[in-house]
Amino acid sequence: MEYEQMIATVRQRAGLGENEAVRSIQAVLSVLGERLAGQEADNLAAQLPDGLDASVTRNPQGRRWDVGEFLKHVGDREQVANADQVRQHAQAVLRTVADALNDDERHDLFAQLPGGITDLFGVPTPRG
C-alpha cells in the first residue's frame, strides 16, 4: 500500500481531514510499535509505506498494555480526548494497517497482542 492510499483510506474510514488522518496514523503506529517486543516493530515498519514507517516506535521489551491503556496512549498522542473518537480512529488505522500486511506479518503481529487490541483490526485473528 502506498503512502497516499493509506492516508486516503484512513480519511474515508474515520471521516477525518488529511492532517488529522496523518496525526491519527502516526499516533496509532507509535503506540502499536511501543507495545510490540523484539523485532516485531521493525518487521511491521518494513511493510508500511515510506513516510509512515518511521512512526513505529521501537521498544525491544514491549509494553504490556491492554486495549484500554492502548487507546488512552493513542488519544494522548493524537490529542483527542473523546474515547469514542479515539477508538474510531484507532480502528480505521489498524484496519488499514491489516490491509497493508502480508498474512505472515499479520499472524506474527497478532501473536503479540491481546484480544482487545486485535479486535480493533477488524479482521479475523489468524490461528496456528
On the 0-12 / 13-18 / 19+ scale of CB atoms within 10 A, 61 is exposed
pLDDT tens column, 81-101: 999 999 999 999 999 999 999
Dihedrals phi, psi of 100, to nearest 5 degrees: -85, -15
Domains of the chain: 3-121 (1.10.490.110)
Q: Is the dihedral of CA 43, 75, 23, 89 positive or negative?
A: positive
pLDDT tens column, 12-67: 999 999 999 999 999 999 999 999 999 999 999 999 999 999 999 998 899 999 99
pLDDT classification of 123: cutoffs 50, 70, 90 = confident
CA pair distance 19, 5, nearest whole angstrom = 14
CA pair distance 100, 114, nearest whole angstrom = 20
Give the model's pLDDT for residue 67. Answer: 96
Give the model's pLDDT for residue 125. Answer: 61
Give the model's pLDDT for residue 97. Answer: 96
